[in-house]
Structure 1
Amino acid sequence: MIYLCNGISESMKRDPNMKQIPYSLSESEFIALIHKTEFKSCIGHDSLARCLSRLTGKRILYNRAAIQVNYDDVILLVSLSGRLPEKPNYVEYKGRLNFSLLRFEKQTQLDIENSLNKIKEITMEAL
């Protein structure tokens, strides 16, 4: 599944140990993906949904949905640099948006062992 989101939290992951693999997108790459993929909009701010609709030329729905990502799911993430006024317009968003693609996958046994060893190292140093 592909989700379009304006934020992410650990509670959105079905498995808290899954790996999150980020990839930065340019504005043009983001727009191309919006036009070429089917996605579920989880944009939680109406003004941002309207801005993205204008930016991409495709209707982006405002939808404060709670989601649970699973292995091989993808999030198209739109984040903002700085704070905006209470009811921002398109011009206030333009140039302040950051785009990325996040993919989620299951950790391998080696990933888990490496993490546990690193945690053990850190905790032993602290004692």
Structure 2
Amino acid sequence: PHWRRWLAPEYRCLVPLTSFAEPRGAGAGNAWFRPNDDRPVFFAGIFVPSWTSVRKLKDGPTTDDLYGFLTCAPNAEVGAVHPKAMPAILTEPEEWHTWLSASWSEARALQRPLPDGSLAIDETPT
């Protein structure tokens, strides 16, 4: 809900990734995941430049660049480690174009997990 005001195309971005981490649990470190192939992939991101707000009362108003990315239900690989959510990952040029330019009613369909089997545990993340 926090990001709803910034779901218009002018705030969307693509965040490149080679691997990403999800916490394994208390004291167990992170599990790193990577796509099973070498093609470019991106998080569906949000970028809000120069947002002025009060984050800490002692600091008063500050102006900051905000970044975030969409999450969705996890696929099988991520769900085995983190059953709550995983990042929404875009793998095809058509998806990238839709994310960057389509209305939210169309782009929201991209907020879904990758198919099961699309990710592998990455023992040596980059």
Class of the TM-score when normalised by the shorter of the 2 chains: under 0.3
Structure with more of its chain in strand, by fraction = 2
- Which of structures 1 and 2 has the larger relative contact order (alpha carbons within 8 angstroms, sep 6+)? 1
TM-score normalised by the chain length of structure 2 = 0.23
TM-score normalised by the chain length of structure 1 = 0.23
Give the number of the structure whose alpha-carbon radius of gyration is greater: 1
Structure with more of its chain in helix, by fraction = 1
